Amino acid sequence: MFKNLKLMRKYQSILLFLGLFFVVFMLLITRQINVVKNEIETLNQEDIKVQELKDIQKLYLQGDSLVSEYISLATPETIGEYATVVEMIKSRVTELSASTNDPEEQEAYVSILQQTDQLTILFEEEIVYGTDRGLRSHFVIGKNDYIDINKNILASFDAIIDQYNQSKTVANTNLSNSLQMTQVVFLILLIVVGVLSFLLVYLLTRNISKRLKQLVDTNNEINKKNLKVNKVREDYKDEIGLLAISSNTMVDTLNDIIREMRSVAVDLEEQGENVKSSANEAKHESGYIHSTMDELSLAMNNQADVLNHIVENINTLKDEIVNTNNESRKLSKASESLSDLSTTGNELMDDSIISMKKIDSVVNNAVNMMKQLEVHANGITSLTDVINNISAQTNLLSLNASIEAARAGEAGKGFGVVAGEIGTLATQVNKSALDIDDIIKKVQSETKKVTAALADGYKEVENGMVQINQSADTFVRIHEEAVRVEKRAVAIDNNLDEIETNSTKVAEAIDQISAIAQETSASIEQTLSGVKGQDELLGKILDESQKMHQISGKLNANIHDFQV
């Protein structure tokens, strides 16, 4: 569950947890403060009661003074003042009795009220009565009894005050203990909150730093053209996890593309070798055809000379019939040789056509493979755009996190450091993406050059195919003419007797043979011209194949730098 949260959610969860813990901490502190407050309030109440008791004691002393004053002066006003003081005493003692829950204290207050009533009776019946009548012994006894009761009352108040003082001592002890306990609890909770906050932030920061370091190491290896890197763990689904998934996908894609480019480069280099070998072989065959055509042309020229000599010596045909017979045999052999040469020429042209078809297929495959390579390179460019977008989003996230860390104050320093590291990683990822983009652009540039060169070579191959087909047609016509010459030679050999008697017919036949020889010679010259054009075309194909081989070698060398 925690692994699937975004970084901001993780920090918010930690802050929420710490906030809840802080609330509990504050509740516990508040509870301790309330305990201390109750102890202080108890002390204040005890002080108030003690002060009230002392005030009542003062009233009793004031009453005692009024009694002494009345004995000395016997003024009627003193009786009224004494009654007022007694009423005040009774009222306050009654209030104190009602405010306490201690039975012993209530019993003491009841006793004090009874003794106060006795004091009133003594004052009115003994002291006032004896003073007004001049009965000294009477009011002296009353005064002594009054003093004894008053002392008992004051002693009772002193006992109650002592009890309150003991309660105050206990309350002070409890207050001191509560304060110490509050301090201990506060320190313990503060230490627990601090340690827990540090551990949570440290563990999260350590986890993020470790994963960021893996991403940085992976990108550094990619910058070094080393694609044999260990994949980053993808257990987490936060921003760093998404970045790790993107990085792993990028590495896999680069590995696949580099492998395919290596395969294509090797195939292209092999195809270049094949094209070069086929072009050399075709050029060699073309030279052989050219030499054969030269020999055939020389033979046809010799045949034409022989025919001219026969025409000039037609009148001496009978005398030299044997020579004519020999010459006809030579003619027959020459026609057979011509037929064989034309057949060989046809076979060589068929081989040339097959070779040119192979060249056509090889160049066409190379063009298609280079176009596919260009498509893959464009795919890598789109991937680098995705990485740049992710890097920009990560950088924006880092900026927002830095702002939140600044708002958090002292508690957000660790968060700010992590946000800075995320920003640094985003910058490095962006730099790596730019480096990869530069490499891909170079590969695309070289690929376009190779594709253009192959396209030009493919056009030249198509032109060569057209010329070779034309040459093949010419060789077919040469073969047909050679067959005709052979048939004529056979006819001449079989009709030597008729030549002796039909010299006129022989002369006409020789004229026809001369015409055919001239036509054959012209066809051979035309064939030679075609063979020369084919030879030049094959030279161009050979040059283009060498260029293709050099470019494929350069492409293979560039790709070889990558370690996959």
Single-letter code of the amino acid located at 147: I
Tell which phi-psi region holds residue 134, choosing left (phi > 0), alpha (psi between -120 and 50) or beta. Answer: left
Q: Is the domain of 378 the same as that of 487?
A: yes
Per-residue 3-state assignment (H helix, E strand, C coil) for 341-364: HHHHHHHHHHHHHHHHHHHHHHHH
**Domain final residue, candidates 218, 249, 270:** 218
pLDDT for the residue 87: 94
- Same domain? 180 vs 256: no
d(CA 88, CA 52): 12
DSSP conformation class of 125: I
Structure confidence by residue, pLDDT tens digits, 22-66: 788 788 888 878 877 877 887 787 788 888 889 998 999 998 888
Residue 9 is assigned to a structural domain of this protein: no
pLDDT category at 85 given cuts 50, 70, 90 is very high
Cβ count within 10 A of residue 234: 16
Q: Based on the fold, state whether residues 251 and 103 are members of the same structural domain.
A: no
Do 207 and 243 fall within a single domain?
no
Same domain, 293 and 167: no
pLDDT digits (tens, 9 = 90+) for 127-184: 888 888 777 777 788 888 888 998 999 898 898 888 888 878 887 888 788 788 888 8
On whether residue 225 sits in a domain, the answer given is: no
Whole-angstrom distance, CA of residue 164 vs CA of residue 152: 18
Mean model confidence pLDDT for the chain:
75
Q: Which of 218, 251, 277 is the last residue of a domain?
A: 218
One domain for residues 364 and 503: yes
Give the orientation angle of helix 503-560 with respect to helix 321-408, to 10 degrees: 20
298 within domain boundaries: yes
CA-nearest of 362, 372, 367 to 260 is: 372
Same domain, residue pair 425 and 335: yes
Residue 230 located in a structural domain:
no
Q: Which long-range contacts (CB under 8 A, 24 or more apart) does 50-55 make?
A: 50/161, 50/164, 50/165, 50/168, 52/92, 52/96, 53/96, 53/157, 53/160, 53/161, 53/164, 54/157, 54/161, 55/92
Query: Do 368 and 497 fall within a single domain?
Result: yes
Same domain, 426 and 491: yes
Distances in whole angstroms, Cα of residue 466 to Cα of each of 275, 324, 333, 348: 18, 44, 34, 16
260 and 307 part of one domain: yes
Long-range contacts for 463-470 (Cβ within 8 Å, ≥24 apart)?
Answer: 463/537, 464/356, 464/359, 464/534, 464/537, 464/538, 464/541, 465/353, 465/356, 465/357, 465/360, 467/530, 467/533, 467/534, 467/537, 468/349, 468/352, 468/353, 468/356, 468/534, 469/353, 470/530
Are 315 and 284 within one domain? yes
Q: What is the CATH number of the domain that holds 436?
A: 1.10.287.950
CATH number at residue 48: 1.20.120.1730
Q: Which amino acid belongs to residue 408?
A: A
Same domain, 389 and 476: yes
Tokens, residue 546: 């060498």
Q: Which domain holds residue 333?
A: 239-560
Collapsed DSSP state (helix, strand, coil) of residue 563: strand
User: How many structural domains is the chain composed of?
Assistant: 2
pLDDT in tens, 260-296: 777 766 776 677 677 667 667 766 766 665 676 576 5
- Region 96-124: mean pLDDT is 89
**pTM for this structure?**
0.35
Helix (H, G, I), strand (E, B) or coil at 300: helix
* Tokens describing residue 419: 């946000």
Last residue of a domain, one of 166, 189, 218: 218
